[in-house]
Structures are given as structure tokens and as C-alpha cells.
Structure 1
Amino acid sequence: MKLLLHACCGPCSLEPTRILRAAGHDLTLYYANSNIAPAEEYAHRLGTLRTWAGGEGLPVVEGPYDPAAWEATAGRVGEAALAAADGDVLRVATHPALREARCRACYRLRFEEAARVASERRFDAVGTTLSVSPYQFTEVIREELERAAAAAGVRALFEDYRPFYDEATRRSRATGMYRQNFCGCRFSEAEAAAERAERK
């Protein structure tokens, strides 16, 4: 199957690509991540992905980087959640219900873009590496991937890669791959920092 695989970063791509290639799929990685801020972080993750993928013989296609579109959708939802928590970043970080709507809006924007490109370039299906992370909303990822694929007229190939997270972590550390310590958006960076401070 010719598969366009939405990739959030290098470390999260390791195990999904291994599994999908072993299953015989023809992969192209699609980096559509307007959520990532600042631009330097976006470029660092893209560079890490390209370097690793080049060594694996995997093509990488970069989608448009449009932080303004992200802010107008998921960013607006994130601001509403923060307001509901009276500006308490840690409260948002530790209460999934306050984060889920923002993450859903973020998935939707990125998957719609990936599915559109998959349809235009005649891929058989679209998938994502996001489900490797235990910190994501796996069922929401499935719902949004399937919704975007159906709207674009392509197949959704969803897999729950969470059982392979530890191996992906081990492999990325063993190879010295850049590993970010937050999901990507400005909200997640603040939430991750608040959680680390709370643990100390």
C-alpha cells in the first residue's frame, strides 16, 4: 500500500515506520506540524527527521508551516481552556478534559492537511505516528484521522503504537537523536515546564 504517514518528529517515527515497512507498505513521511513553536523548534525537529529518514531511504515531504492557522483554530481552543482554569497552566496540564479539545482541534488541522495531500498525490491511505506517544489522546487521534481521510476520499490506516513507545525511546537515545521535552505547541511547552517544576 502506498501510504502517506503524518510524522510529528524523528523519535516518534522510528517504530511506526519499522512496523509499517515490515508489513510491506510503501511509505512517504509527511511533516505537517504548524502547532510547533517557535519556528526554530519546528526547524530542529524537521532537520532531525530528515537526517534520520535520509539514512533509511524514506522520503520526507514538508507541508506548509502556518502558525497563524493553528492559532486561529487550536490556539483559540487552548486559550479558552486556560481561561476556564483561571490561567493555571498546571491545572490544564493535569486535567485531560481541559486539554482534549485543544488537541482534537490540533489533530484535525494536521490530519486534514495530510489527507488532502494524500488524495491529491494519489496515495492509497494516510496514517500518523502520533499514536506512539502515551501522552496523546489515542482514540481522538483515531477519530480525527478517520474523519479527515473519509472527507478526502482516502483510506485511514490507524494503528495504536503505544506498546512500542519504550523501544522508540531506547532507540532514539541510543542514536543520539534530538528528543524534545514537550509536544510542540506553546501550551504544551508551558504545561510540560509546570509539570517538571511541580515534580521538583
Structure 2
Amino acid sequence: MKLLLHACCGPCSLEPVRLLQAAGHDITIYYANSNIAPQEEYAHRLVTLEDWAKSEGLPVIEGSYDPATWENTAGRIGDAALADVRTAREQEQPAADDHDASDPAADNPSAGENSSGTQQSTGDPRKRTPLRADVLSVDPARREARCRACYRLRLEETARVAAEQGYDGIGTTLSVSPYQYTQVIEEEVQRAASRAGITGIFEDFRPYYDEATRRSRALGMYRQNYCGCRISDEEAAAERAERKAQRAAAKQAERAEHAAEIAAAEAELKDHRAARAAYDKKQARKRAILKSLREQAKQEVSE
């Protein structure tokens, strides 16, 4: 099958491409990722993908980079979910930052489409309220809705281009990551393909994630530490900070649990050092006395 394969990055493409080629598909990679922010990150991932694809003789097509459209769909859903969290926190303890939680996109992954079905571009993706560690409290269902809208935007674009350029079907590398919503990805691949009148090829590539990681590291490929969007970046940073705090708390708790033992050991060591110092002082006094007696005896003999 002539397949247009949506790819999120180079490392995630390694195993899906290998497996799909082994299945007999003729692959062209399609880089459609308006979710990735900032633009420098988008470009870095694209260059990494293109360099690898060139070495494999694989064509790469770059889609349009339109972060404003992403903000108007998935971004709005993510911000609405965060606003709910912040509102709840403010009800307990008023905070300085205010955010409107009423967002029709929150419950509709297709919100942001106009009557013709095309996406409306609004807002600057950089003019957003920074996240805090409270992102960890976002309802998983709301986070899944954000990711579904993101998948839908990119896969519908992939399917549209595939149909226009004569491809038989589409697929995606997204399902190689254990951090994604695999079932949602499958649903969105099939939905986008069906709407475009082509075939959707889906495979759960998660069992090959470790091998993809190993291969990408061996190749020295750039490996990102967040999914791509500004919200996932801050979520990942907050989660790393939370894990660091948990490790520090566990270490402190362990030390507190053994505080009595540590104090006893330190006291024993202190007593040992004090006894040793007293012993050394006593021995030094004895040696001084013996030396004095020897010198006195020599003097008496010489007289």
C-alpha cells in the first residue's frame, strides 16, 4: 500500500517504519505537528527526522506549521482544564491569577471549527498563563480530550493530503509511545481516513518502544523530553519537579526514621574520640615523666 505515515519525530519513527516496510507498505513520511512549541523545537525535530530519513532513502513531506490553529482547538481545551483546577484551588485559597474556565471547546474536540469544517486561527501561543505544579491535578478525562483534539487536527491534515496526492492510506508513529492514548489514536486514525475516503492503518507499536529508544540513542539522535505542545512541556517539567521533591522527602523521612540510631552512632563516635584523646594525653604525660627520669639519672651518673 502507498502509505502516508504521520510522524511526530525521528526516534518514534524508527520501529514503525521498519515494521510497516516489512509488511510491504511503500512509505512517505508526513511531518504534521503544529502542536510543537516553540518553533525552534519544531525545527530541531524536523531536521533530526529528515537526516535519518535521508539515510534510509525515505521521502519526507513537511505539513503546514500553524500553532495558532492548534491553540484554537487543543490549546483551548487544555487551558480550560487548567482553569478548572485553578478555580477549585482559588475557592480554597484565593490566588492572584484569574482565568476564564468557561470554554465550549472543553467538552468538544472539534470546537474551533467553523461551519465549513476548517480551523480558525486565533491567539498567540506564547501569550498564555504559565502552568504550575497544579497541572498534576488535571482531570485525566480533560487531558485525554486535549490530546484527542491534537491527534485529530494532525491526522485529519495527514488524511486530507494523502487523498489529494493519491495515497492509499495513512498511519502514524504516535502509538509507539507508552505515554500517549493508544486507543484514542486508533480511533482518530480510522476516523480521519474514513472521512477522506482512504484506508487507515493502525498498529500498537508500544512493544517496540524500548528498541526504538535503544536504536535512537545508538544513532545519536536528538531525543526530546516532552510530547511537543507547551502544556505537555510544562506538565513534564512539573512532574519532574514533583518526582524530585518526592525523592527528597523520602530521603528526609528515611533519615528521620533512623534519627535515633544516627544520633546514638554519632554520640558513640564522639565518646570514642574523647576517650582516645584522654588516653593519648595520659600516655603523653607518662612519656614525659619517663623522659625526665632518664635525663635525671644520666645527670647523676655524670656527676
- Whole-angstrom distance in 2 between the partners of 1:139 and 1:27: 23
- Whether 2:221 is the aligned partner of 1:177: answer yes
- Whole-angstrom distance in 2 between the partners of 1:155 and 1:44: 31
Structure 1 partner of 2:195: 151
Aligned-residue sequence identity (percent) comes to 75
Q: CA deviation at 1:91?
A: 1.8
Letter in 1 for 2:72: A
Aligned with 2:40: secondary structure? helix
Aligned with 2:170: secondary structure? strand
Q: CA deviation at 1:90?
A: 2.1
Structure 2 partner of 1:4: 4
* Correspondence for 2:171 among 127, 144, 150: 127
- Whole-angstrom distance in 2 between the partners of 1:171 and 1:192: 23
Q: CA deviation at 1:98?
A: 3.0
Q: Is the 8 A contact 2:77 2:142 kept in 1?
A: no
- Whole-angstrom distance in 2 between the partners of 1:183 and 1:96: 16
Structure 2 partner of 1:40: 40
- Whole-angstrom distance in 2 between the partners of 1:174 and 1:96: 34
Structure 2 partner of 1:20: 20
Letter in 2 for 1:164: Y
Q: Aligned pairs, how many?
A: 198
Q: Which has the larger radius of gyration?
A: 2
Aligned with 1:28: secondary structure? strand
**Map 1:1-200 → 2, pairs under 5 A:** 1-86=1-86, 88-92=134-138, 95-200=139-244
Q: Which ranges in structure 1 are unaligned for 5 or more consecutive residues?
A: none
Letter in 2 for 1:101: A
- Whole-angstrom distance in 2 between the partners of 1:180 and 1:78: 21
Letter in 1 for 2:167: F
Letter in 1 for 2:239: E
- Whole-angstrom distance in 1 between the partners of 2:43 and 2:135: 26
Aligned with 1:139: secondary structure? helix
Q: CA deviation at 1:96?
A: 2.7
Compute the RMSD of aligned alpha carbons: 0.9
Aligned with 1:165: secondary structure? helix
Instruction: Give the TM-score normalised by the residue count of structure 2.
Output: 0.64
Moved over 6 A (4+): none
- Whole-angstrom distance in 2 between the partners of 1:84 and 1:110: 26
If asked which structure has higher relative contact order (CA below 8 Å, sep 6+), I would say 1
- Whole-angstrom distance in 1 between the partners of 2:12 and 2:223: 9
Q: Which ranges in structure 2 are unaligned for 5 or more consecutive residues?
A: 87-130, 245-303
Q: CA deviation at 1:85?
A: 1.7
Query: What are the Cα deviations for residues 79-121 of structure 1, in whole angstroms up to 9, with x where unaligned?
Result: 11111222621223xx532310000000000000000001001
